[in-house]
Chains A and B, each alone.
Chain A
Amino acid sequence: MNRPAKTARSVALSGLALQPLHSYAFSPILNELRGATGSSLFDRLFTSPTNIFSPQSAPAHDIFRLSMFTLIVTGAIFVTVSGLLLYAIIRFRERPDNVDADREPPQIYGSNQIELAWTVIPILIIVVLFLSTVRVIFGIQQAPEPKQALDVQVIGHRFWWEFRYPKYGVITANELHVPVSSDPKDPLPTYLKLTTADVDHSFWVPRLAGKTDLFGGQVNTTWIQPEATGIYYGQCAQFCGMEHARMLIRVYAQSTTDFQSWIANQQKIAVEDPSVAEGRGVFEQNACINCHSISGTVANGHFGPDLTHLMSRDTIAAGTLPNTRANLEKWIKDPDAYKPGCLMPAMELSDQDVKKIASYLVTLH
């Protein structure tokens, strides 16, 4: 098992400090600004693991270039219009030397030529902007899926993510593992087929691609192609109820060999450790099994995340807590204390039973 970040368990709740922030690649423009100021203040203000202006994936790059072009065009318009406006209000203000109530300024009612000019020029700008936009829309949305692409089904739940790898028969939750696409000549994209089990959600990992919504009754497609190994962060971007804020996404981009070994581990049935048979018994005799699946056991519910390889994940409760034994115990005891409004009920278990279940769960590597 080679996971990119064993250290995750030791980090704070945020878990976002897995890589030092300066190791995130930033856009050339921001890099220049950074060079100019050269302070760590800049890092504190403008760096974020979810910065849309630090793309690391083909569709995000295309969006970024178009965004910069749009910013330049709109910026130029802003400078022109506000410059004229500023000039006008300073130049044409009422001053002591012209404050003569009887004398109004000359009345000008309009001018067809000028008005035609400021109709035609915006139209030209719009044509340019429109054509560049269309290119990117079709470039991303109509990109043919290459043969070597990985397919993953994404199913939104209140308030967690289910990821299914049909080709490998793997089901996991909240932490999406994909192969990195380091060779631009031989891209290795991951195509996501998204739908929802309940209400609308939206899949958003800013450094990899724009948002794609998960709407019931339809399957939307999007694709990502991370260029560097590491963890990419995101979260649900369509209000879906009480815990919308704690429906976080982590995408682990791994080298092909790491990814294959991850897949191989996920394909195994759950570890059966006789020393925790008691905990397994408690788990199976309670309602846990109505919502959670553990392969090779009677637990085959589908409302909650699949727990077969629970301990291969860095977080629980869709990124709310680091996946440690202590947190598992706290979580099982009273989920509402950490994620109020989440759909997992507190089962009113005794502390002893909670401990037993936790010792069973921590064996599920």
Chain B
Amino acid sequence: MADSIPLSGIVDLTPDEEHPRLWLQVMHDWIVTVDHKKIGLMYIAASLMFFAIGGVEVLLMRIQLAKPESKFLSPEQYNQLFTLHGTTMIFFVAMPILFGFGNYLVPLMIGARDMAFPRLNAFSFWIYLFGASLLYYSILGGKGVFGGSGIPDVGWFAYAPLTESGFSQGNGSDYWALGIFITGIGTIGTALNITATTICMRCKGMKLSRMPLYVWLMLVTSVMALAAIPPLSAAQIMLVLDRHLGAHFFDIQAGGSAVLWAHFFWIFGHPEVYILVMPAFAFANEIIPVFSRKAIFGYPAMVAASVGIAFISFTVWAHHMFTVGMGAVANTAFVLSTMVIAVPTGIKIFNWLATIWGGKIRFRVPMLFCIGFLFQFTIAGLTGIMLGVAPFDWQLHNSYFVVAHFHYVILGGIFFCLFGAFYYWFPKMTGRMMDETLGKWHFWLFVLGFHLTFDFMHIPGLLGMPREIYTYEPGHHWGIWNMIVTIGAFVQAIAVLIFVFNLVRSCFKGKLAGNDPWDAWTLEWTTTSPPPSYNFASEPTVRSRRPLWDLKHPEEPDWEYELGTENEMAAK
């Protein structure tokens, strides 16, 4: 089927005429661009900047907590830092960086020339950057009419009525609500765009059942984001109405409800976890097969499990609220839904295991990160089950055990896949390889730091340490564990510095990558690295899930197998 996939060289892909340009012109190019690749890269760059900010915030917090009764930070500063850290990492780092990769990769993987709505795409990015900047403007923005904290200090889930004007007198809660509300508009725009792109822009022959799993999971993520962001946005608008126009949605004294906020927040908040974790699964779905040299095991089951998780994830939110007094019956219902979601997640883990099984594993850096992800995500899933056992949760809820659990999910799961994705697609994005040795330093140091921090962070939780406290007393014996956690945090920081150094250095000095450095199988590897602005000179045609496999192995192409199963289905 070689003739149906234009490989570089078959058509003329010489880049546009090069001429020296002023940096202002270059800047102008980036600012006005509607190219999905440039927008994707800007998403990634902006998220990395916020990642650095969020990282510095957490290091300050870890210094404060390293020993009991520390005076390094004031309570006010500490509360502001953990609010900013949580908000930044979720809304300004994890979501945009994952959607940034989606932006870059989805059109390339489905053989399209751009997203369905390129200008909406640019709008989404800039509105995200504006929302995120608005939150950080709170640092400069003064304290408001009544004094109080100008920087949000109410926690990333900002439980009302603490955010009401009576208890949060500065402008902090306004910045929090509006900054994230505005960022949410961008998220919805991008989610719409990816949904439309995957549904309408696929190249010839790419049926839904032939879409790379990465694209499938980005589609599922986007649909989830479309359903999950609006409840949060609505709650934020209600909060701003409460604070400034005398509404009483969450104002207890006037008959409002505090539990209402918790429901609104978590019906966004739990799907949000899966909105973040799906794209990470998506990276693993591409990287693990390529470095195991095998097709993904159980493609239909992987798709079904993802769609299953998406649906169930909207029914589990109140497992964050086992302690609010919902009563035994409601608690039981949410225990059930929470445990049910473990089944499709388990299917995924086992299918990855089966993909590795019988392969020829190449331990390049992207694969190392994915293997780390498999181990750590298994642990995160199991601590998740412990938290789903409601009575156990009555003890663990809001303790450092929970903090360790969700960092295991987000850092040990999502960020490990994300780092893997950096090493894997960096050659496509820049045309140069990232340095393998530095990559391995990054990996091993990060693994060491991660486990120092988050393995040991479970223990003070079991010893009764609640989260979001700026200090603690020595008699609890939490100190030694917190010291280890802090040391681990700094080891991770060093690993991240190595990563950033590698990233910047490889942009200029990396080995040239060529079109297909990993001997991979999806469409993005058919075009040049970096791809031209139009991606593909002519529309590719595919006949299976792995078009490049078919090309490289004409003797046993995937489409033969897929045709076989289709006929089998038809015969039944």
B476: contacting residue among A16, A105, A216, CB under 8 A: A16
Residues of B within 8 A of A98 (CB): 360
B33 within 8 A of A: no
A169 within 8 A of B: no
A-B contact pairs, 25 of them (CB 8 A): A47-B477, A48-B464, A50-B476, A63-B392, A70-B385, A74-B386, A85-B371, A92-B292, A104-B553, A111-B297, A115-B301, A129-B389, A130-B335, A133-B390, A138-B328, A141-B331, A196-B252, A213-B323, A217-B259, A233-B476, A235-B466, A242-B76, A245-B469, A340-B74, A341-B76
B508 within 8 A of A: no
Given contacts A94-B362, A126-B342, A341-B76, contact A211 B394 (CB under 8 A): yes
B418 within 8 A of A: no
Residues of B within 8 A of A215 (CB): 258-259, 324-325
B141 within 8 A of A: no
Roughly how many angstroms separate A63 CA and B397 CA in the complex, as a whole number? 13
Tell me if A74 and B347 are in contact (CB < 8 A): no
Tell me if A245 and B75 are in contact (CB < 8 A): yes
Instruction: Scan A112-141; emit 1 where CB is below 8 A from any B CB, else 0.
Output: 001100110011001001100110111011
Tell me if A50 and B464 are in contact (CB < 8 A): yes
Nearest CB on B from A318, distance (A):
12
| B470 nearest CB neighbor, chain A only | A245
* Residues of chain A in range 193-219 having any CB-CB distance to chain B below 8 Å: 196, 198-200, 202, 204, 206, 209-213, 215-218
Tell me if A216 and B357 are in contact (CB < 8 A): no
The list of the 4 closest CB pairs from A to B, nearest first, reads A210-B394, A16-B475, A50-B464, A216-B252
Tell me if A89 and B361 are in contact (CB < 8 A): yes
B406 within 8 A of A: no
Q: Chain B interface: which of A1-9, A76-84, A324-332, A348-356? A: A76-84
Residues of A within 8 A of B167 (CB): 158, 198-199, 241
Given contacts A82-B378, A84-B353, contact A212 B472 (CB under 8 A): no
Tell me if A126 and B294 are in contact (CB < 8 A): no
B436 within 8 A of A: no
Instruction: Scan A130-168; emit 1 where CB is below 8 A from any B CB, else 0.
Output: 100110111011100000000000000010000000000
* Residues of chain A in range 36-71 having any CB-CB distance to chain B below 8 Å: 44-53, 62-63, 66-67, 70-71
B246 within 8 A of A: no
Q: Chain A interface: which of B107-115, B155-163, B492-500? A: B155-163
A interface residue numbers (CB < 8 A to B): 12-17, 44-53, 62-63, 66-67, 70-71, 74, 77-78, 81-82, 84-85, 88-89, 92-94, 98-99, 101, 104-111, 114-115, 118-119, 122-123, 126, 129-130, 133-134, 136-138, 140-142, 158, 196, 198-200, 202, 204, 206, 209-213, 215-218, 220-221, 233-245, 340-341
Tell me if A129 and B477 are in contact (CB < 8 A): no
Roughly how many angstroms separate A101 CA and B518 CA in the complex, as a whole number? 12
A122: contacting residue among B346, B363, B470, CB under 8 A: B346
| B79 nearest CB neighbor, chain A only | A242
Residues of B within 8 A of A63 (CB): 391-392, 394-395
B294, B331, B349, B466 pick with most chain A CB within 10 angstroms: B466
B234 within 8 A of A: no
B382 within 8 A of A: yes
Given contacts A105-B359, A130-B335, A239-B155, contact A198 B76 (CB under 8 A): no
* Residues of chain B in range 186-229 having any CB-CB distance to chain A below 8 Å: none
Tell me if B162 and A211 are in contact (CB < 8 A): no
User: 17 more A-B contacts (CB under 8 A) besides A199-B258, A202-B397, A216-B258?
Assistant: A15-B475, A44-B477, A67-B386, A74-B386, A85-B378, A105-B293, A107-B294, A109-B298, A122-B342, A126-B339, A211-B395, A215-B258, A218-B259, A218-B325, A220-B324, A239-B159, A245-B75
B478 within 8 A of A: yes
Residues of A within 8 A of B375 (CB): 82, 85
Residues of B within 8 A of A206 (CB): 395, 464
Tell me if B398 and A237 are in contact (CB < 8 A): yes
Nearest CB on B from A322, distance (A):
12
Roughly how many angstroms separate A98 CA and B362 CA in the complex, as a whole number? 11
Roughly how many angstroms separate A108 CA and B356 CA in the complex, as a whole number? 11
Tell me if A213 and B360 are in contact (CB < 8 A): no
Tell me if B299 and A209 are in contact (CB < 8 A): no
Tell me if A78 and B378 are in contact (CB < 8 A): yes
Residues of A within 8 A of B393 (CB): 210
A63, A99, A140, A220 pick with most chain B CB within 10 angstroms: A63
Nearest CB on B from A312, distance (A):
22
Tell me if B476 and A13 are in contact (CB < 8 A): no
Given contacts A15-B475, A63-B394, A200-B258, contact A52 B464 (CB under 8 A): yes
* Residues of chain B in range 474-492 having any CB-CB distance to chain A below 8 Å: 474-478, 480-481
Given contacts A63-B392, A70-B392, A129-B389, contact A105 B358 (CB under 8 A): yes
* Residues of chain B in range 112-167 having any CB-CB distance to chain A below 8 Å: 153-155, 159, 161-162, 167
Tell me if A130 and B382 are in contact (CB < 8 A): no
B379: contacting residue among A78, A234, A244, CB under 8 A: A78
Nearest CB on A from B322, distance (A):
9
A211: contacting residue among B397, B459, B469, CB under 8 A: B397
Residues of B within 8 A of A110 (CB): 297-301, 351
Residues of A within 8 A of B347 (CB): 115, 118-119
Given contacts A13-B69, A118-B346, A134-B335, contact A212 B325 (CB under 8 A): yes
Roughly how many angstroms separate A210 CA and B324 CA in the complex, as a whole number? 12
| B339 nearest CB neighbor, chain A only | A126
Nearest CB on A from B556, distance (A):
7
Residues of A within 8 A of B315 (CB): none
Nearest CB on A from B209, distance (A):
13
Tell me if A137 and B466 are in contact (CB < 8 A): no
Nearest CB on B from A21, distance (A):
8
Roughly how many angstroms separate A22 CA and B250 CA in the complex, as a whole number? 46
Roughly how many angstroms separate A234 CA and B469 CA in the complex, as a whole number? 13
Roughly how many angstroms separate A142 CA and B382 CA in the complex, as a whole number? 28
Tell me if A81 and B472 are in contact (CB < 8 A): no
Residues of A within 8 A of B389 (CB): 66-67, 70, 129, 133
| A101 nearest CB neighbor, chain B only | B519
Nearest CB on A from B455, distance (A):
13
B477: contacting residue among A45, A104, A105, A198, CB under 8 A: A45
A16: contacting residue among B292, B327, B392, B473, CB under 8 A: B473
Residues of B within 8 A of A241 (CB): 79, 162, 167
Instruction: Scan B331-361; emit 1 where CB is below 8 A from any A CB, else 0.
Output: 1100110011011001101110110111111
Roughly how many angstroms separate A4 CA and B375 CA in the complex, as a whole number? 49
Nearest CB on B from A274, distance (A):
39
Given contacts A105-B294, A107-B294, A217-B258, contact A210 B475 (CB under 8 A): no
| B356 nearest CB neighbor, chain A only | A88
Nearest CB on B from A258, distance (A):
24
Given contacts A137-B331, A218-B259, contact A52 B343 (CB under 8 A): no
A92: contacting residue among B358, B399, B464, CB under 8 A: B358
B471 within 8 A of A: yes
Tell me if A50 and B162 are in contact (CB < 8 A): no
Tell me if A104 and B475 are in contact (CB < 8 A): no
Roughly how many angstroms separate A122 CA and B301 CA in the complex, as a whole number? 15
Tell me if A243 and B75 are in contact (CB < 8 A): yes
A48: contacting residue among B255, B385, B477, CB under 8 A: B477
Roughly how many angstroms separate A63 CA and B323 CA in the complex, as a whole number? 14
Roughly how many angstroms separate A62 CA and B475 CA in the complex, as a whole number? 26
Roughly how many angstroms separate A138 CA and B329 CA in the complex, as a whole number? 8
Tell me if A240 and B394 are in contact (CB < 8 A): no
Roughly how many angstroms separate A215 CA and B259 CA in the complex, as a whole number? 7
A210: contacting residue among B79, B154, B353, B395, CB under 8 A: B395
A52: contacting residue among B331, B462, B472, CB under 8 A: B462
Nearest CB on B from A142, distance (A):
5
